[in-house]
Structure 1
Amino acid sequence: MVMRNSRNLIKYLVAGGVTLSSLEYLRRHDFNLSSIGLVRFGRAFAVAINVFIDYKVSMYGVDSQQEDYQELKNKIHLRSAVKLRTLCCVNGGVFIKVGQYVGALEYLLPKEYVETMKVLHNDAPQSSLQDMCKVIKEDLGKDVGELFTSFSEKPIGAASLAQVHKATLHDGTTVAVKVQHADVQKHSYVDMKTMEFLLHIAARLFPEFRIVWLAEETKRNLPRELDFILEGQNCERVARMFAQFKFLKVPKVYWSLTTNRVLTMEFCEGGKVDDKEYMKQHDIDVDKISKDLGKLYSEMIFVHGYVHCDPHPGNIFIHKTLQGQQEIVLLDHGLYQVMTDDFRLNYAMMWQSLINADIEGIKKYSEALGAGQLYGLLACVLTARSWNAVTTGIGELEQTDAESDEIKEYATVYLPQISELLNNVPRQMLLLLKTNDLLRGIEWTLQTRANASSFINMSRCCVRALSNHQLKSCDSWVSRTKIRVREMFTQRKIDLYEMYMWLRTTYFGSLIFQLFYGPQKPVPVFSGF
């Protein structure tokens, strides 16, 4: 009875504390309650209080050294994640967007949150056909029946801000029509203020849960994502920028049927990039797909500094043409990150240091990237490797199951430090962490060979980007020749490393390797630049 009364007292105290903190926050941030959607805000506030109280009350009096401590905490994580996912689905719009972001933060948040939110990438709530037709009529001035000879009743894809329908133009062309959810823009201001408010309260009650940057990023990017004309322009820019990649397919935009809320594009066939069964059915070379994807994103990051901001499997399709050409279809161009030259070059130097296992270089460029004394943590988060692997040379040792388990365990233990790191690094870094996770996740799902790793293509682009930068400050042909020779020599070393990794995956190569070096000892054929 005493315990129950104690828990009830704690529950009321926490609820009262949260409410008082909330009112003070609203007052200081000019949150005009008379002009916002009270139902949406109230729903979010109620769920937030429920989650916070669950943590405080359930963990009250529990010793962290108890045998079932972590099991209890995992259960609370899962309960809370399900509640928050339900809130995201009911409120929709910005809440779905933030939930999807959480679902992409592998190694950065408890797995219960990541796995629970991840389904929002593929199972976002849908708007009715009537609502979609209304938006089209308002923006294009004609009924759907006047614009298209057919228009699918069910969407072929639903996302946080819009959904896509398959349609046919009067000339017989099949198109994909992306239509914004009717109320997204109307609710966007309220939702962003609400999200910002909730994350500030969470940071106050749980100091280790500091992801206020998530609200800041969403607030900064949302207006651009809601502008479909900008998305169409991004489509055309990317198609021009990477025209040399014959494997890349970017949908054509039909401008006469495009507005701020309606985007009509070429319809592209294909399966999701992580659909291994689709690859088998269509005889698609998964190793080539992994190589090409690594090449594309490395070129974006290190060479152009213009990076696709929503790299999840639902936005990357794979298609094999009638001529047998494998294509990577890149979708959802609503948001791109433009990187500053300073950031891009510091990031390239950081990777050069990681590949060389250069500890002093890692410290130096971690400092330049805002990590400060958390340089070791940044190195591990960037590579998804243990510190031992980083200091040994990430290009020389393959990740073991034991190392993978160690990383996941550390992700929970060092959550406060990870939160601090994410609050300190430039916002551009958050996107790169997401991109790295995408590439690694796809390689793991498709079980690609080691020589097809995105790490190899990333190394090539990194070398080229740094060489191009050095050439800009050269004033003699001798200096330029030295830089070009050094670049060529390094690229050949990468070629040898790629050949070595391919050889290790062959039957006879693995036998020879074990005969001369033993089953565990790697050959350090690639020690960097």
Structure 2
Amino acid sequence: MRTSSPNFIRRLASNGRWTCSNCRNHIPTAASRSKSAAATQQPTARHYTTGSSRHSRRIPKPPRTRNGILTAAATGAAGAGALAFTDDIKYGYEAVERTGRVAGALGICINDYRTSLNQRDNTEDAAERETILKSCHKRCAERTLDVLEKNGGIFIKLGQHLSAMTYLLPYEWTSTFIPLQDQCPVSSYESIERMFREDTGEDLRDYFSDFAAEPIGAASLAQVHLATVKETGQRVAVKVQHPQLAVWAPLDLALTKFTFSTLKRFFPEYDLEWLSSEMEISLPQELDFQREAANAARTEQHFARLPGRRRHRMPLVIPDVLWARRRILVMANESGHRLDDLAYLDAAGIDRDEVSAALAHIFNEMIFGRDAPLHCDPHGGNIAVRRRQPRGSNNSNSGAGSGTKTTVAERISGWLRWNQLPNFEIILYDHGLYRDIPEDLRRSYAKMWLAVIDGDMAAMQRHAQDVAGISAEEFPLFASAITGRDFVSVLDPATSAPKTKSVLSPRTRAEKKEMGDALQEGLLSDLVQMLGRVPRVILLILKTNDLTRSLDESLRTRRGPARGFLILARYCARTVLREQVDAARDRPGGLLRPANAARLLAAWLAFLRVEAKLEVFELWLEIKRVLGFGTGIGAGAGGELEVGGAGAEAAVASALQPRPLSVHA
């Protein structure tokens, strides 16, 4: 902790003849001085020798004069002040250095963009115009990356967030920031020891019989060490916050706010102040590990309450929390492998498509489940997978050779046995950033997604207005943001009907390039301004959607996104059913009134019809995959199912067509 040296020096300056309190109590008064003088005149016989004889004589110490006392005290005070000044000077230097990095890079990037944009406007060749802007993006992204890495702390967190905003930022920016997902600073063992002592009043060795000096993982805000609890012998993971965050977080937040406000001043059409505002809200929550412990417990309780069949589709593991302080979290050690460790998945006999489906169930439950908490930071470092362990086994030992590959018959029979648990578990870490979605927003969001899947343009626009205040003109851009797809691949602009290739088909490189080019051509400023007006929880939902979409693509599934949208449609339909059930119960007379009971029955029948069709289509996808056919299903002539990659969206749309369920009401 830094000493407040200015106050210390102020006390020195206020007393020309400063004396410490101990010496002040022993300064002789006038009366005592006269007695002392008389006493000193009496001779005292003392003997000196080098031995211990009782007759030995000691050399009398010279009297400590008042000047000597003042000199010693002043010397000590000067030393303490120098140390305090040293801390203040060091802190001030580092603060200036951090600020200078941000301000310097910001100024250079602003000038680079202004120069490049002027150069682009004076160029006729389209290819050269594109090259000029992309080169500027890349240069500025690399400068910014250097600042983020050197400053560390919440700047790493900011870079991770920006790397996931593929729906908003050019590819040159998001791809440049990808290394920040894994390259995070590591705090020293000594600093962790000091912080543990400050926060708990105990040493690490008082609670743990062993504590690994090297962390098993480091993130932007914290790092994790393995340890063993002394009393119980339990192997645990200890999450500790980087101690320097407490020092630099206020300054770093101010610098982030300054950066985005400056960008807005020079480029008003690119208003990203909403991003710094969201960080000001979310960062204190992420830095409070006691809040994280409460979020983890609440999420575990929510999924434990689900009916058996739904719960079995979500093999979710949340590490139990033993205890938590604001900067320290001790939890059970639940280890696994990254989702993109495809070699492990294949060797352990874990079906990638089933992992993808489980992820879809987990996060759709978080978005659409009643009173469900939403985990808003599901990037690759916060999710792990492992082969299911028998009860009582050591979860930390989940090697690649622990499983065997499943046969075709086993996969089909396992799918048909609805209550059978999958052969893997998904571990969810880092529960610091959570949000609650209001029920009315959740219902409108569900209806909007059903409209997107069904290709109902009027319903899409109506519910987008309910969800985020999006106008009809802004809707194509908003649809691209929520789906991660080029909007022209969703609807035919001429007929507003679903195109053969829609959101259910895999994204191609050509489509990704088209979306990037569209951002280069001016849509970026429109998207930035639109996102600045939508509710903050919608921004976090967009972030969650984008991160889970990225996770799903990293699995390289063989079915494409079709099954994920089937699962999404099921949760949306269930949400709409819940709204209609609540409406029937709240009507005058309640369910005892025949008209209300009839409405409730009709809603249930419509929902069951949709649910049954979606089940059939999902089973058909599984059979096709096992037999080695294409990834899509479609309705052929006469309504018969046909194999092919272009008709999955038609199948889902047909499942939702006969809907007294009134999904767009």
Give yes or no for TM over 0.5: yes
Provide the residue aligned with 2:652 in structure 1: 526
Shift of 1:206: 2.4
SS at match of 1:453: helix
Shift of 1:219: 0.2
- Select the residue among 520, 540, 548 that pairs with 1:439: 548
Q: Are 2:153 and 1:45 aligned?
A: no
Q: Are 2:358 and 1:358 aligned?
A: no
Instruction: List alignment gaps of at least 5 residues for structure 1.
Output: 1-33
Residues 633, 645 of structure 2: 8 Å contact kept: no
Residues 157, 220 of structure 2: 8 Å contact kept: yes
Shift of 1:59: 4.4
Output one character per residue of 1:221-245: Cα deviation in whole Å (capped at 9) or x when no partner: 1111111111111111111101143
Please say which structure displays the higher CA radius of gyration. 2
Distance 1:332 1:410 in 2: 35
Residues 167, 480 of structure 2: 8 Å contact kept: no
User: What's the TM-score once normalised by structure 1's chain length?
Assistant: 0.87
Distance 1:86 1:520 in 2: 44
Distance 1:363 1:513 in 2: 27
Distance 2:106 2:577 in 1: 50
Shift of 1:461: 0.9
SS at match of 1:450: coil
State, as a whole percentage, how many aligned pairs show the same letter. 31
Provide the residue aligned with 2:190 in structure 1: 130
Distance 1:232 1:510 in 2: 44
Q: Are 2:445 and 1:347 aligned?
A: yes
- Select the residue among 220, 226, 251 that pairs with 2:281: 220
Distance 2:525 2:291 in 1: 37
The one-letter code matched in structure 1 to 2:436 is V
- Residues 396, 57 of structure 1: alpha-carbon distance in 2 compared, 3 angstrom cutoff: closer
Output one character per residue of 1:174-224: Cα deviation in whole Å (capped at 9) or x when no partner: 111111111212322221111111101112222343221110100011111
Q: Are 2:531 and 1:465 aligned?
A: no
Residues 207, 416 of structure 1: 8 Å contact kept: no
Q: Are 2:319 and 1:290 aligned?
A: no
Shift of 1:269: 1.3
User: What's the TM-score once normalised by structure 2's chain length?
Assistant: 0.70
Which protein, 1 or 2, shows the higher relative CO under an 8 Å CA cutoff with sep ≥ 6?
Answer: 1
SS at match of 2:435: strand
- Select the residue among 203, 212, 235 that pairs with 2:296: 235
Residues 311, 434 of structure 1: 8 Å contact kept: no
Provide the residue aligned with 1:487 in structure 2: 607
Output one character per residue of 1:384-408: Cα deviation in whole Å (capped at 9) or x when no partner: 2232332216466554443333233
Provide the residue aligned with 2:429 in structure 1: 331
Provide the residue aligned with 1:65 in structure 2: 124
- Select the residue among 264, 267, 272 that pairs with 1:203: 264
SS at match of 1:198: helix
Distance 2:597 2:179 in 1: 55
Distance 1:208 1:239 in 2: 43
The one-letter code matched in structure 2 to 1:264 is V
Provide the residue aligned with 2:318 in structure 1: 250
SS at match of 1:265: strand
Provide the residue aligned with 1:456 in structure 2: 566
Provide the residue aligned with 1:172 in structure 2: 233
Provide the residue aligned with 2:79 in structure 1: none
The one-letter code matched in structure 2 to 1:446 is L
- Residues 228, 502 of structure 1: alpha-carbon distance in 2 compared, 3 angstrom cutoff: same
- Residues 99, 178 of structure 1: alpha-carbon distance in 2 compared, 3 angstrom cutoff: same
- Select the residue among 473, 483, 495 that pairs with 1:383: 483
- Residues 70, 282 of structure 1: alpha-carbon distance in 2 compared, 3 angstrom cutoff: same
The one-letter code matched in structure 2 to 1:318 is V
Provide the residue aligned with 1:12 in structure 2: none
* Structure-to-structure mapping, 1:73-92, within 5 angstroms: 73-92=133-152
Provide the residue aligned with 2:41 in structure 1: none
The one-letter code matched in structure 2 to 1:437 is D
Q: Are 2:511 and 1:403 aligned?
A: yes
Distance 1:259 1:365 in 2: 42
Shift of 1:509: 4.6
Considering fraction of residues, name the structure with more helix: 1
Distance 2:217 2:464 in 1: 39
